[in-house]
Amino acid sequence: MNSIRATLIGLACALPALCLAQWQWIDKDGRKVFSDRSPPADVPAGNIIKQPSGKSRPAEPVEAAAPAGTAKPAASAPKVSGKDKELQDKKKLADAADAEKKKAQEEEYAKVRADNCERAKGSKASFDSGVRITRTNAKGEREFLDDAQRAAETKRLEKIIASDCKPAQ
């Protein structure tokens, strides 16, 4: 019974190693392909990057051995650029969408700043005119601002005008 258990445990430990058997090759378009199956017969042996140990590729017709002095031209092998055109196009589209989104956010921010600037200028004009200004307190009662409160509010409005009324950078 113990030997069966030990055998089952050994097989269970060996199973993940069998699942890792992967093939890697570069296809005719220059993309890296990962598979648990061997590559098609039209993929040259030089384009196979990784193959599982103990596995062999299906038999290919072997070309006649060429003399050592004549090498096959490298131009027949597909050029591997390492870049995927579809991926580059998608990246360009995503970058363009991000730029458009950022531009829209900047325009919205500029509108908010312009609105704040106009409101602050209007409020400051009211304070500078000398008209009595009232506010509603937490109890809902109307109260008039004294000179110290007017000065503090004028100072606050001047800071808003200085920050929001300058041209965007």
Residue-wise pLDDT for 36-67, tens only, equals 888 888 888 888 888 887 655 554 444 444 44
Residue-wise pLDDT for 70-124, tens only, equals 455 555 555 556 668 888 899 999 999 999 999 999 999 999 999 999 999 999 9
| Two tokens, residue 44 | 């040259």
* Beta strands 48-50 and 142-144, pairing class: unpaired
- Which conformational region is residue 140 in: left (phi greater than 0), alpha (psi within -120 to 50 degrees), or beta? left
CA dist 124 and 120 (Å) reads 6
Closest CA to 112 of 156, 157, 158, 163: 163
Q: Cα 42–46–51 angle (5° rounding)?
A: 85
Predicted confidence band at 157 (pLDDT cuts at 50, 70, 90)?
very high
Residue 14 has pLDDT above 80, yes or no: no
Residue 153 has pLDDT above 70, yes or no: yes
On the 0-12 / 13-18 / 19+ scale of CB atoms within 10 A, 93 is: exposed
Sketch the domain layout of the chain as residue ranges. Answer: 85-164
On the 0-12 / 13-18 / 19+ scale of CB atoms within 10 A, 159 is: exposed
CA dist 126 and 154 (Å) reads 10
CA dist 94 and 29 (Å) reads 23
